[in-house]
Each structure stands twice: as structure tokens, then as C-alpha cells.
Structure 1
Amino acid sequence: MPSSAGPSIDKITEGGRVTQVGEGQDADETTPPVMTFGAPTAGEVLAERYELVEHINNDSAGRLVWRGVDVVLRRPVAVVMRYPGGDSATEMLQAAVAASRVIHPNLVGVYDAIDEDERAYVVREWVDGQSLREMVTSGPLDAGRATAVGNAVASALAAVHATGMVHGNVHPGTVMISDDGRVVLADARTDGADSQESDVRAVGGLLYFALTGHWPHTEAPLRGATAGHGRAAIPDAVRDAGGAAAAPRQVRAGVPAYLDDLTMDLLDGEVAPPSSDVLAAELARLDVPDEDYLDNSGPLRFAAETGDEPSPLAAAGGRKVALGIAGLLVVALVGLLVGISALGGDEENPQAEPVAAPSSSAPATEEPPTPTVRNLKISDARIIDPDSRDRAEVRDAEKVFDGNQDEGWSTQTYRNSSNFGNLKRGMGVWIDLGGEHNVRSVQVNLSTPGASAELLTGTAVAPSSETGDEQILTAFLKNRIGQPFEEHDGTTMTFNGFDADQKYRYLLFWITDLPQSNGGYKLGVQEITVQGS
């Protein structure tokens, strides 16, 4: 097939190109290339769909990374390839399949994973920009940018961990910052050597690196790389005589105390780390305004939470962060008192009247506080079943929001997987929030893994009948939230693709394929939780 897509890709990537790493690092410059059967060539089309345009680099695991184009959908892609395929590519393909089932704005999308024996390759999203490793080569990041990156990665890990999976490959090379400010995490591993805790501690390593330009982990500066060697290397942290890494504030002036404490707590093996979702919530709380930082939709906007709820990380045992924030409040209060005292008179004009303190009855002029994210109350729910006249499966909808995950609503048992598709287009749970709200996420707990489903929204309201359900489905199918889950390998689905500027009242969790269960095909929805403000 001719490489006619090449010019369009060049136009798309004009102005910057990220190192589309497989393991997040370039191969050692001294490593000789290994040529064998299955080596790709520019212009070649893989699987009759993915045209190879340009070889970008080789990663430390010996995989080739190419810039390509999906000639069917006409979009740029990254192709991560190793040859030969077969058993040697099993781990890479398994990791890609698992990663493809987690949809999150801070995770690189995985489109395809193919094994052709003589070679195997993973096709994933192409990101225009640069890796965190490349970005920091020009100098450490300020506190606002470092916190934004840490928050994005922690949010991505929370989505991965919610499925029971582990990423296992979090470091500056697998974190990419696109030209439009989006931060994404790429290239999960499933080699069994890591845990969710090590993922969380790796965020501490990222914060340390972003703030100092040094890597704090002594056991492995990077997978396949040695500190101080090769272009993949990252300088090792400054250490004391005992080998302990110096705190970021000791390496670089101007690092805020709370961020320094949080980073060192995450790196301290004696301090139990929080879960990834708690860490993401704590990083989101930090009010570190940086108007020059790239604007980004999603979890990279920072505003301090002003409600009465305590810091999630402080509640989980993050002692240093809580003390750091308290210290800042004390300093701010002292400064305010000093300022009020200074307004009491004018040294150059002793006769000047003292400035009166503002009346307590004066209207507040400060901006309203950022709403606290909380669980939203579901006021009503019902089962949507537009392709059934007997209405046998529309009972028990109230059990999906009763707070008890041990019981819920379930479909009937179908004889085979195609039966659901042949008899029905699907079934769903329609929920009413009782009023319009800003929605952050929807989490659905299921009885069995392997289901396919999506989240829809709309404004249509109709009676609970075959005709009414058809009206709701037709209207809601026009508005999908995020990406659908296909044969999801977990029992929790989390949907995050809500528009922050839009309010929502009605949502529809729509099931399109049932998993196998007890000799047939059946699915239960145990609980639906909506978070927002």
C-alpha cells in the first residue's frame, strides 16, 4: 500500500514530537542493533491497517518504536514492536490487552495488540509533546507543574488500581506531556514484580525527579538503564554517607515544604503510603497556581478545597503534609495580623485617622470556594429494557443505590452470549440525581467480570414501558460519557469523561454484552456511586 498518509502525519506532528517510548527510555547508544527476520521497513503496512512512517527509537527492552498511521481511521499511532514474537512477546501483549480495558484521560490509549510469530506489536495512541524525562533536561519544574504531573499520574493509577491491576512501569520516561498540556502515563507491565504500593511510591520518585532533575531510587534508576550512563540515564540523587537521598529542598531552593514532605513520605519505606485515589485527591487539593502552565481539561486544574472535610492524605496518616499546611496557615495568619497593625496609623502623617477594619456585616468580595467533591444522592432508578414486552427484568432497581453491595439488580440468565444480542440490543439502569449537578465520576460495581457496557446521558424522561424505554435509549445514545468498556476484566467500571462546564441529572448505564456466569450468561449491578458537586 502506498505511504500516502505520510504527509498528513507530518502535518499533525509539526511543531514537536515526543519520544514514543516502549519502556519509557531510549536504548543505550552503545547497544548494537540486532537485525533478524521480521524487521520492519518504512512504508510497510501491518495487519492491512497500520502503515509504518518513521522509526523513532529502540527502548531498553529491545523493542522498536515507530511512528505510524492507521490508514482506516486516518489517525497517527505509535507502533511498539519486538521480533520475534511468540513466547518472547507474551508479557508485552498481555500488558497491552489489560491496559486497553482501562479508559482514563491520563492513560495512553491502546488500540491493538497483534502476534505474527515472527514479530509482535502493540498499536497505541500517538502523543505530540515530550516525556517528563526530556522536559526536565532543560531544568527542574516549578512546584505547580510538578504537582500537576503528580496528580495526573496518581489519577491514572487510581483508575488502573480500581480494576485490581498494577501498572508496574511508572518513571519519567513513561510519563508524557503533550503539546496541549495533557499528561499521560504509558506502557504498563505485568511481570508480577510490582504492586499497587510500588506504583504509589513511584509517584514520589516522579515528584522528586520533577523538582530536582535527579532519580531517588537506588535499586533501579530506570529499567535497563544505569545512572550516569547512556542517553537514557538520569542523574542519581544527592546522597548522604548512609546512602539516603537528600530532600528536594536540600537540593534546590524554593521547593514548598508541603511538597517536599509529601515527596519524602512517599519515598520513605517506614511510612505507609496512601492508596492512589487518596494520593490523587491530596494532590488535587494543593493550591499551587501557575497561570503560565499549559491549560488542561481534566484533573490538572488546581484549587484548594475549602470545605470542612479534612485532607484525605492527612486522614490516612500523612503527618508531614498536614503539619506543613498547618504551618503555612499560621504564617499567613501572622502576616495578616501584622498587616492590620500596620494599617493603624501613618508614620509620615501622625494626624491621619486610623484605618478602620472592615465591618463584619460587609458583603464578602472574594470568589466563592471551589465545591467539595462528594457522593451525590441518587433519588430514583429504573431498569431500561426497550426490547421486552413482559417486563420481567425491570424490578429491584432501587437496590443499585441502597448502599449494600451484597445485593443488587441482575438480568435473567441467558443460554449463550449471542442470545442477549439476538433478543435485545441491551439493558440498562437509568438513574435520576434529583437535580442538576457537576459530575466528576460514576463507579459501577458488578457481580461478574467480562461485561461490556457504556455510560450515556440525556434529558429525556418517559414512562416505564417498552415504548418509554425506547424513547429514553434513542435520546441517550446521542451522548456518551467517555469510552465504553469491552469485555471488562474487572468488577468495577469507572467513568470519568464528564464535561466540567456541564451539569447532569439523568444517566444511563447501558449493558451491551453479558459475561458468562453459572453455566449461562448473566450480570448483576450491585451498586452505582456518583461523585460530583
Structure 2
Amino acid sequence: MDGMCVAHNAIGAGSVVASRFRLEDLLAEDAGARFWRATDLTLVRNVALHVIRADDLRAPAVLTAARTSATVSDGHILRVLDALHEGDFVYVVHEWGSGVSLDRMLGEGTVEPRRAVWLVREVAEAIAVAHRQGVAHGRLLPDNVLLTDVGSVKLIGFVVAAVLQGRPQREGATGDPPSEHESDVLNLGALLYACLTGRWPGFPQSTLPDAPDDHGRVCRPRQVRPGVPRRLDALCDQILNPDPRTGVHRFESAAEIHAALGDYLGDSLSGATVAVSGPTALLERPGYSDADADSDSAAGTDSGTDPDATQAGLPRFEATQAGLPRFATDPAPPHSDPRAAPPDTPTDTPLDTPTGASHRTEAVPRPEPAPMGPAWTARSGTGQGDGPVPPAWGPDPARRHGSAPMTPEKRPGSRSLRFAALVAVLGLVLLAVVVGVWLQRDQQPEQSAGPDASPTATATASAPPEVVQPAAVRDFDPEQQDGGSPEENPDLVPLATDGNPATAWETLTYEDGPVLAPYKAGVGLLLDLGAETPVRDVRVTLVGSPYDLQLLAAPPESGAPTSVEGLTEVDTRSGVLGNVRLKADEAVTTRYLVLWLTALPPGDDGGYVGRIGEVVVRS
């Protein structure tokens, strides 16, 4: 009999449960629990459906978990739409989410730090809302964090996943198993750690590789991946590892983590997203300089037909412990045959005995996927957590404020106004060029006048400056006070002359500042030019502000300096930031230059620290 509700017999693809939901694709199965994509026949939309036998010991707890999850109202949570016990089975119906899961995305590379903070801040907001209502997720893994097609963050399996798949059992801060709330807080830090390093330090295990540990303490992110901002490195350590002095964790609530991440972003970002150029923009890692950068994107996307595509064009999933999907393959290309199914696809496999035709329903329209824009022509994904990286996701690191760009409204005459503005700008540029040429010609007689002006001096003055590549650069700290370290991060010194201002050498952190005196006169870099060289200027990229600094030069024919005594002061600047040019009135001939920092800006984690992104010497 068509359209009848299946309750007491076995169920399979095409069966209708609860008189409303038609099972379409089996996404995962383990330990007696199944996870389906289904069609809501009333509203004609996709839903996610957990199915478990009523005699399973977990069945009562699953219904309770579903009802508990439904009490939390937050836009980041894939809601429970219904939960019921009908005949031999218990069903939990969830809102459907289309996108890519965080563990799958991190399998292709780490996330740019600012976007990582934004992502985890979104998760922390949802967890804080739930905790205020006394509800915990219980299983906050990268597998259960979804980046939707429109760029928002959604949480899968709120409360229900912990019942179906088990709750974490590692020891908490007090030596006892952590509460569900404490587990959520710890795993918020673990999510941030995973975004920055591609390793998972949380519990239980994820599909990501485990993070290394050192005598029971999770290794800090910078030990795993160089280039992680120090402030985020410290934040992860404070969340994941107990304070060695007190034995307790510094962060005790999701709200505290949400506030700390907001402080890092420097603004109160809303849920608005910012358009990016494509999937690679989400995974770019400016500033990372480790050798592992190339390996992070080694996993590619097969453009051929997916051999594991199900009858609805969805990828076949790898089963998790008890119900949520763990994504194992890329989605089928848009032009693959959606009707094709491999022989081992478990779409018609019943829980009990094969079901007959009487348990099939009449054909009703299936939900059509959303139209694909230009960014979706290469890949498409309709599975929950198995789609491509969304084209609009996370805050642009180059933009600290604002929301998604909006298409300007076209107004009559706007093209003419733009053309007139362009003409005006070009006119101003032309005028500036003419004035500059006139001034240059007016000054030429003065430069070449005088009986003492030699052809060699004239040629030297008119020759364009040349960049001098130092033969060697090292940290320079001749005053080690109170038994302090004689080195100032020598391993980072090459970053000051690598041609990339995004990477930086940095000093040690000093408690007193910003002026280093009287603790010490200063710290800096010693540049060996390899030979006596006339130096016109030195251009320095400073990170943070403000700085006091000097450019010092060793006397000709002298050895490498061991202190600043006897060095010639070329230029001195105070309260400067950004790109700074240090120069003398006349070219200085020397082999050794000292870039000497005497006042440092505040550091990210307290104290005072100097950072030099790039040093360029010109002759």
C-alpha cells in the first residue's frame, strides 16, 4: 500500500517514516545507528535523520538529548526538527546543512590565523549561548563543525552526537573526568589549535592527526608550525594546558574564550561574511615560513567521476562510531550520473528484513539544489559537510572592520560621473608630472654648477641607488644584564632580509619599557656588507609602533663591533612606525652597520618586544 508509514518492519531507501519523511540516502551506519538524508514530503526539503532501534539501550537517552537540543535557540546550531518513537524505531530529525566540515577542510591546509579566530569565535558564541541555558554539545570535534555554502558556521549533532557516539573520558583539570561543559571549553581551544596547525589536541580523536604532547602537556602551536602569531600560541596553551602553578585552566567558560577571540580581532564582528576570491583564499597562509607549507595542500580533488557516488549524487561516507558522517571522498562532479549507484551502496539495505514494494511511496518532487554561481562550476556538493569550501567565508585579514561588500545601486548618470571623475584624476596626475619635471630642470644648474664639480661626482650623484645584499646578518645584544640571554632569537634573524615583510625577526620580550634604558642601552641587528661599501640609506619595515632607533656605522677598516662604543651615528629616529628610511647627509663608507633599537612597542602577550619585517641597504 503506497504512502503507508513504516513503523514495525525494516526500513530502507524509499521508505516513509513518521508519515512524512522519505529516506533517500544512507550516509553512515555504525553500532546499530543509521544516519540518512531524507525528504520532508510536506515542505519538500532535505532533512537529516538519525534512526536507532527502540530496543537499543541508547534509545531513551537519544530522545532526551533531542528534546534538550531543541531547547537551545541559536543560528549556529543545526536544529532538531522532530523526535519520536514509532513502532520498532526511534527517529531524530535534524535541519539539513550543505557545505564542508572543518576536518575535511583542514585536510587540505591550515587556515589563515585571522579567519581561524573568526571561525572559532562563531563556534564559541553558540557554545556560550547553550551553556547559559545549561546545555552542552558534548562532542565538539572538527567533524561536527560545518562551513555552509553561504559562508556561515553551523554545529552538527548538538547533544545527540554525544549520546550516540559516546562522551569524552579523558581526565579534566581536577583529575576527574571533565564535565560536558568543561569538555566543550577545552575543545574550543582545540579547534583553534587545529585551524592553526592541522593537528587535533582535543578529545575524543578526530579524523585529523593527533597533536604532539610533551610529558602530558599539549605542545604549543608554534612548536608544531612556525609562524603562528604569539598571541594565539599563548591563548591555545592557556586553554588546553593547566597553569603549572595552580593546576587549573585559565579559561573556564566559552564566554571568556569568545571575549578573548573578539579582543584579538579588534572589533565586534557580526555574522556577516566577506567575499573572497575562491577556495584557495580561505587556506592561504601569509607569514608562514615552515617547510611543511607545501605538504598541507598535497591532497587534491579528483576531477573524475566518483566511484562511490550514491543514487542521489552524494558521496559515500565513512561510518563514524554511531551516527554522524565522517567524510571520506570528494563529491561527484556536477555532470556525473546522479542515478548511478555502486553495488555496495547501502541505500536499500534494511535494518531487519527486506522491505517490500508496499513500503514505497508515490513519486513526489525532490528538493532541487540551489543554482550554482560562477565559483561553483568546478565542484558541487550536496552532502552534509562534504561540499566545497564556500566562496564567501570569514573576515578578510586585510580588512579589520565592515561586513560583506554590497553591490552598489545603479543610478542614472553614474557612468558619466565616473568618467568625469576619471578625466579629472588624469588631469591632476598630468599636472603633477609637468610640475615635477619643471622643478627638476630648475634644480639641475645648481647641482652641476661650480668649478669643483667633477665628472665622477656628478655621475655618482645621478646614478640610481643599488640594493646591497648583506653577506651576513646576526642579532646584536652586547649588554646581557642580570644573567640574561646573550641572544635575541638568532633563528629568526634571516626573516629580516628574506624579501618578505610579512615575516619578521623579533627581540626577546622585556618587562620594562618602552625605553630599554637603564636596563640596557638597546638591542638590534648587525649587518656585515662583506666589504667596505658606500651606503646611501637603509630602509626598515617595523612591525608595531612606536619605535626609537638608530643607524650606526663602524669606522672604515675596523673589525666587527662588539659594542656601540666608537660607532658613528648615521641617523636617529624617534616615535616611528611602519616603513622608515634612515640616511645620512652624505654616503657613509663602512663594512658593518648596526640597526639599534632603543625603545620598543608593547607586545601581544604583555611586555615590550621589537619586530623588524625587512631591512634593505642601498648604495
TM-score, reference length from structure 2: 0.41
**Normalising to structure 1: TM-score of the pair?**
0.47
Which of these two proteins has the greater Rg computed from alpha carbons?
2
